[in-house]
Structure 1
Amino acid sequence: MHFSEIFIRRPVLSTVLAALITFLGLASVANLPVRQYPEVEESVITITTVYPGAAPDLIQGFVTSPIAAAVSTTENMDYITSQSRPSASVVTVQMKLGADPDIALTEVMSKVQQVRGQLPQDTEDPVIAKGTGRTFALMYLAARNPNMTPEQLNEYLARVIRPRVTNIDGVAQMEILGGQTYAMRIWLDPLKLSARGVTASEVLAAIRSSNFLSAPGKTENEYFSYSLTLDSTIQTPEAFGALPVVQGKTGVVRLRDVARIELASGSSDAIVTFAGEPGTFIGIIPAPGENQLDVATNVRDALPALTGTLPRGMTIDLVYDSTETIAASIQEVFKTIAEAVLIVVVVILLFLGSFRSVLMPIVTIPLSLIGVCSVMLALGYSINLLTLLAMVLAIGLVVDDAIVVVENIHRHIDEGMSPARAAIRGMKEIAGPVIAMTITLAAVLSPLAFTGGLTGSLFTEFALTLAGSVVISGLVALTITPAMSARLLSHDAPGRFQRVVDRTLGGLANWYERRVSSSLDYRPVTMLMVVALLGVSGFMFLNTSSELAPEEDNGALFAIMNGPRYATLEYTDAFTQEVSRRTADIEEV
């Protein structure tokens, strides 16, 4: 018994197979993550070195350059970027796709250790961290409160808001951008230092010797044990001011005699404003593998309850949501899928001329598109623009097998066979070509999955999703389509619609035949047209610009302005405020 004959004689088996494909596909859709593009795993190693008080030029020459030169020979290293800021150096090592992050981290740590002795004495030990993939904030919130200082606002966000936000389903981390943390700031006066004969190193030594954490241990007797604590830290500006630095000729020189001391912001290298007012940005980082649309929805749903408990005068506003673009793009692709299905159905109806004949190819489309979702889930893929694009292209491919099967069975019915016998005979004739056509299409698409680099990482899901749809359509054409044909097709006289279609297509065929005959009578002219067409096509191809992905409008503009090297924070903020004032009058903003 032929493979397809089993399903023709047992229609219940065909129904169960169709239900199984549908059930597995729908169950997979509910568990597939949704993102804009396929996930690209990249290994990034960051080396952060702090040199307190050093200028950017000093950082660049004596910290950044030695470290960057040492790690530049790391195996599987793609490229290196570095930043030399006041008091800090950041070197980022971007590894090639597929590189083992653990091996890369070990090698980078070894190379940094080799040049540790070449760094200035006062530099802190480099902090080396690895990351897999690029983690960007999914959403940005702006927090403001005119009744709080920047330090108080940052403290409230860290202690109260962060635990509540990170407890939202799907949220992995909350970043505080531009927040000011408390620190004891000591501003040395060079003139006072010189007048009293005190150096900055003596001040630093005095602070370190009088302000430290200690663990004195414990004391015990025969029955009890007590942990000892020693208050060896200084907490207030007044206590720091009373700290003795050196014994001078005229008496003890205290810290307040040579410095101004205040409890203020620990970092003064950033200013954050929102709508012209000082504020702090909050970045929402989703957990790996989470559905980004669901995470954004959860955050938006939790925002009213969050803002309802804020102190008087404090507001938290949503200023940027990247999922709006993702949702709009995915919605547009789903609209394209619906349009493609409609167009394919109309074309099939016009060429087959029978409403019953159209049912089999129509059934193939949803079964193939839904069924491939189970393949995507098994391979760890996601619903993204490229996999949805694969489904759009698959609509025109998955119906080919069903059309061939239906047309062949219909031909045998027209020759006088019963629908069941026509289905069995037709499948014996056409099963081999259907299998060959399915394997050929899948084989043509599969090599994209083995392409290296960023292109391969992006288009692997596209290629295998499209190939999976074609394979499922071939399975449907060998099992469900002949079973449906055996029960839905019949030998009926052509209806009015079918006669109109046949007459129209016959006229088109005759017109085409005359054009082909005419072209054969003027072969030199035909060959000249072919050569000209190839030449124009090649010229246009060579002069067409190329890029990995087309530009798209995400509804947001990110601007980076670089000031001169001597620019202060106030200098940069003045130009930033000017840009904000000029863009505020733009209608679209």
Structure 2
Amino acid sequence: MWIVRLALTRPYTFIVLALLLPLIGAVVLLGTPMRKGMPTDIFPDIGIPVIAVTFQYAGLAPDEMSGRITSNIERFVTTIVNDVEHVESQTYPGVAVIKIFFQPGVDINLAMSQVTAYAQSNLRQMPPGTTPPLILKYSASSVPIVQLAMASQKHTESQLFDFGNQIIRAQVGTIAGAAVPYPFGGAARQVQIDLKPDLLRAHGVTPTDIGTALSNQNLMVPAGTQKIGATEYAVKLNASPTKLDDLNDLPIRSDRGGVTTLRDVAYVHDGHPPQVNVVRVDGRRAVLMSIQKTGSASTLSIIETIKERLPFISELLPEGASIAVTGDQSVFVKAAVSGVATEGLIAAALTALMILLFLGSWRSTLIITISIPLSVISSIILLNLLGETINLMTLGGLALAVGIL
């Protein structure tokens, strides 16, 4: 072969390359202060041409969700988005999930941008109160990699949910490659207005009147600017209550009999929607945060960064609240990768031993012993250039290649 002839004619060049390969391989695997090492994971990043779009409208019946939200999205997605193979949907009370399947070889990032642009622009045509859609791109490697549990004996479940949503999500979400969904468990805070039917009839007020009053008066409106001396101030009309009890004094209607306030026909209080999941840590109610990996980021580097940031996050939490790691996928990743790498080394050692026993040549054994690690290092460098990761598939392939060599 030409490469063999080239090696025989230029031996010193290949000797230098052989000495440089371990150094380059170490830089690729471990990284440098200016560059991260090669990502390590269990499985490779397998792109699945599927996008899921989720709409929510609290309290809307499934048939209404299907007729007013699901069917509209299904109809327009097939005509606006490119390379759609088929669309599947599931409708639940207050939730619509639309799964869009694309043709093989589609540019999933372009499809994601098209779906996002359409879903956001179509939000105005949906029933008032529909939440902005949650749009997810499927990936075999986008799975929970670490779980953080927060518990407290001094705080309510609503407060724990707020701590997880506003503190932990904000801190962990800035880590490259980490995605933090909403907390699991706890109870989302909700200002609830309990209507009193008898008092509504007595004052001649309907629930629609209360909704209209809340929409018209619980708001802030810009009123222009006012220049005083050399300073120009922004002026606004602020009718938004600063305390929960102030909502009770919100006027609903006025007539000759006086002013009817919200306190006269309803009861305003701090509450939460019906709780559908419960998390317990050591017998105490808690909140669970499942951190997911996105894209081709390294699982090990994400988990290490999260653990480094945990002491700082603990200082931000109020007194009495504690946070702990309850699930850590890095333990399994390290064990799996280490096991495959160990088996590969054993296979290389046995290969060299078999050559020595059957051929009885130290020279051939030495050549094989040197060529196997150099070939593996060259493969790892090439995999890194192609954007691959160190995972069970790549290490297993390298271990099989050792036997062929």
Q: Deviations over 1:469-494 (max 9, x none)?
A: xxxxxxxxxxxxxxxxxxxxxxxxxx
Aligned to 1:317: 324
Call closer, same or farther: CA 1:152–1:223 in 2, change over 3 Å. Answer: same
Q: In the aligned structure 1, how far is the partner of 2:129 from the partner of 2:171?
A: 37
Query: Does the CA-based 8 Å contact 1:46-1:93 persist in structure 2?
Result: yes
Question: Hey, what does 1:39 align to over in structure 2?
Answer: 45
Counting matched residue pairs gives 393
Task: State the Cα deviation string for residues 497-523 of structure 1 (Å, max 9, x = none).
Answer: xxxxxxxxxxxxxxxxxxxxxxxxxxx
Contact 1:109 1:128 in 2 (8 A): no
Deviation at 1:89, TM superposition (A): 2.9
Secondary structure of the residue that 1:54 maps to in structure 2? Answer: coil
Q: Provide the C-alpha distance between the structure 1 equivalents of 2:310 and 2:123, rounded to a whole number of angstroms.
A: 49
- Residue 216 of structure 1 aligns to a residue whose secondary structure is strand
State the 1:203 CA deviation: 1.0
Deviates more, 1:332-341 or 1:247-256: 247-256
For residue 152 of structure 2, what is the aligned residue in structure 1? 145
Spell out the pairing of 1:182-193 with structure 2 (5 A cutoff). 182-193=189-200
Q: Give the corresponding residue for 1:106.
A: 114
Contact between 2:120 and 2:133, CA under 8 Å: does it hold in 1? no
Q: Quick one: structure 1 residues 186 and 249, their matched pair in 2 at CA, closer, same or farther if it must change by over 3 Å?
A: same
The worse-fitting range, judged by mean Cα deviation, of 353-362 and 209-218 is 353-362
Contact kept, 8 Å, 1:70 with 1:112, in 2: the verdict is: no
Structure 2 CA distance for aligned equivalents of residues 35 and 156 of structure 1? 30
Indicate conservation of the 8 Å contact 2:193/2:266, yes or no.
yes
Q: Secondary structure at the match of 2:340?
A: helix
Q: In the alignment, which of 48, 70, 77 is matched to residue 64 of structure 1?
A: 70
5 Å matches for 1:365-404? 365-398=372-405
Q: Distance in 2 between matches of 1:389 and 1:143?
A: 38
Aligned to 1:18: 18
* Other-structure match for 1:293: 300
Contact 1:42 1:98 in 2 (8 A): no
Aligned residues of 1:186 and 1:262 also touching (Cα < 8 A): yes
SS of the residue aligned with 2:268?
Answer: strand
Task: Check if 1:359 corresponds to 2:366.
Answer: yes
| CA distance 1:75–1:163, change in 2 (3 Å) | closer
Aligned ranges 1:386-425 → 2 under 5 Å: 386-398=393-405
Residue equivalent to 1:279: 286
Aligned residue identity for 2:297 = E
Checking the alignment, whether the CA contact within 8 Å between 2:173 and 2:180 is kept in structure 1 is yes
Instruction: Name the larger-Rg structure.
Output: 1
Taking the aligned partners of 2:224 and 2:72, their CA distance within structure 1 comes to: 42
Cα pair 2:219 2:238 within 8 Å, conserved: no
1:490-509 alignment runs, 5 A limit = none
Residue identity in the other structure for 1:106 = Q
Q: Distance in 1 between matches of 2:28 and 2:119?
A: 46
Identity of aligned residues (%): 26
Q: Partners in 1 of 2:13 and 2:322 — Cα distance?
A: 61
Say whether the 8 Å CA contact 1:42–1:96 is kept in structure 2. Answer: no
SS at match of 2:223: coil
Query: Structure 1 residue aligned with 2:352, among 335, 345, 355?
Result: 345
Aligned equivalents of 1:14 and 1:308: distance in 2?
55
Unaligned runs of 5+ in 1: 399-589
Identify the structure with the greater strand proportion: 2
Q: Secondary structure at the match of 1:198?
A: coil
Contact 1:43–1:130, Cα closer than 8 Å, also in 2: no
Deviation of residue 315 (structure 1)? 2.3
How far the C-alpha of 1:141 sits from its partner, in A, is 0.9
| One-letter identity of the residue aligned with 1:220 | K
In the other structure, the counterpart of 2:251 is: 244
Q: Do 1:49 and 1:123's aligned partners in 2 also have CA atoms closer than 8 Å?
A: no
Q: Which moved more, 1:256-265 or 1:99-108?
A: 99-108
Q: What do residues 379-426 of structure 1 show as CA deviations (whole Å, max 9, x unaligned)?
A: 11111111111101111222xxxxxxxxxxxxxxxxxxxxxxxxxxxx
Aligned partners of 1:54, 1:146: CA distance in 2, in Å? 36
Structure-2 change in CA distance of 1:114 and 1:144 (3 Å): closer
Secondary structure at 2:259 match in 1: strand
Q: Is the 8 A contact 1:105 1:130 kept in 2?
A: no
Judge which range, 212-221 or 376-385, deviates more.
Answer: 212-221
Question: Whose RCO is larger (CA < 8 A, sep 6+)?
Answer: 2
Tell me by how many angstroms 1:85 deviates.
4.2
Deviation at 1:86, TM superposition (A): 4.0
Partner of 1:473: none
Cα 1:50–1:354 shift into 2, 3 Å: closer
Q: Residue deviations 1:233-264, cap 9 Å, x none?
A: 12333221121212467543321222221123
Higher mean alpha-carbon deviation, 217-226 vs 299-308, is at: 299-308
CA contact (8 A) 1:186 1:261 kept: yes
Q: Does the CA contact (< 8 Å) of 1:171 and 1:284 recur in 2?
A: no
Query: Residues 308 and 228 of structure 1: is their aligned pair in 2 closer, same or farther, counting only changes over 3 Å?
Result: closer
CA distance in 2, matches of 1:333, 1:232: 65
Give CA deviations for 1:138-165 in whole Å, capped at 9, x if unaligned.
Answer: 2111100120012322333445444554
Alignment of 1:43-122 (within 5 A): 45-72=51-78, 74-100=81-107, 101-103=109-111, 105-106=113-114, 121-122=127-128
1:343 Cα deviation from its structure 2 partner? 2.6
How many Å apart are 1:305 and its aligned residue?
6.1
AA at the equivalent of 1:395: V
Q: Deviations over 1:79-117 (max 9, x none)?
A: 545453444434342434542333564367559978976
Question: What is the rounded CA distance, in whole Å, between the counterparts of 1:171 and 1:108 in structure 2?
Answer: 20
1:93/1:277 CA distance change after superposition, 3 Å? farther
Q: Distance in 1 between matches of 2:261 and 2:157?
A: 30
Are the equivalent residues in 1 in contact too, given 2:119–2:133 (CA < 8 A)? no
CA distance in 1, matches of 2:330, 2:384: 22
Call closer, same or farther: CA 1:128–1:162 in 2, change over 3 Å: closer
2:27 counterpart residue number: 27
Is the Cα contact below 8 Å between 1:150 and 1:180 reproduced in 2? yes
Deviation per CA, 1:205-234, whole angstroms, max 9, x where unpaired? Answer: 011111012111202267442221322212
Question: Which segment drifts farther, 91-100 or 143-152?
Answer: 91-100
Which secondary structure state, in structure 1, belongs to the residue aligned with residue 60 of structure 2?
Answer: coil
The reply to whether residue 235 of structure 1 matches residue 242 of structure 2 is yes
Cα drift, residue 351 of structure 1: 2.5
